[in-house]
Copies of this chain bind each other. A is one copy, B any other.
Amino acid sequence: MAARHKFGRQTKQLATVWQTIKDDQSHPTADQVYERVRRQLPNISLGTVYRNLQKLVANNRLQVLMLGRSQHFDPLVERHHHLICESCDRVFDLLLESPGEIRPALLPEDGFTITAHHSAFYGTCKRCAS
């Protein structure tokens, strides 16, 4: 009944996954996290990495970004958007000045050229609200 129950048990696998990703700005995939964590815990399994990443997402310590066919994990959980280079596939965080207002100064290295964008709005439709 202690507060930490909601986070489940403290295992070295979970701790290592978190340590590996908490300051990472490269938006790694589960597999990339697996490869890095493996250097410290050679016996960890990919399934465990997935389960721990899910747990961190459920506890709001990570955000998931779906790109192509894979999930990318982002320790920046405040609402923000993404800049995706179609040439090297790197992903940059794009912070907002105020809701809906983009801060151009944060375009990476001041040199990102935007050629397309897409926005998705999530919520509840009229039919489901009633």
Number of copies: 2
Q: Which of B66, B108, B118 contacts A81 (CB under 8 A)?
A: B118
Residues of A contacting B: mostly? strand
CB closest residue in chain B, given A91: B120
Q: Which residues, 59 to 102 on A, are CB-close (under 8 Å) to B? A: 66, 68-69, 79, 81-88, 90, 92, 94
- The stretch from A29-37, A42-50, A122-130 touching chain B is A122-130
Interface residues on chain A, size class: 35 or more
Let me know if A121 and B84 touch, CB within 8 A: yes
Chain B residue numbers with a CB within 8 Å of A94 are 119, 121
Contacting pair B112 A126 (CB below 8 A): yes
Bound complex: CA A121 to CA B129 (Å): 31
CB-CB under 8 A from A118, the residues of chain B are 81-82, 119-120, 122
Does A105 interact with chain B (Cβ within 8 Å)? Answer: no
A109's partner among B66, B85, B125 (CB-CB below 8 A) is: B125
B88 adjacent to A110 (CB under 8 Å): no
A-to-B contact residues, CB < 8 Å: 66, 68-69, 79, 81-88, 90, 92, 94, 108-129
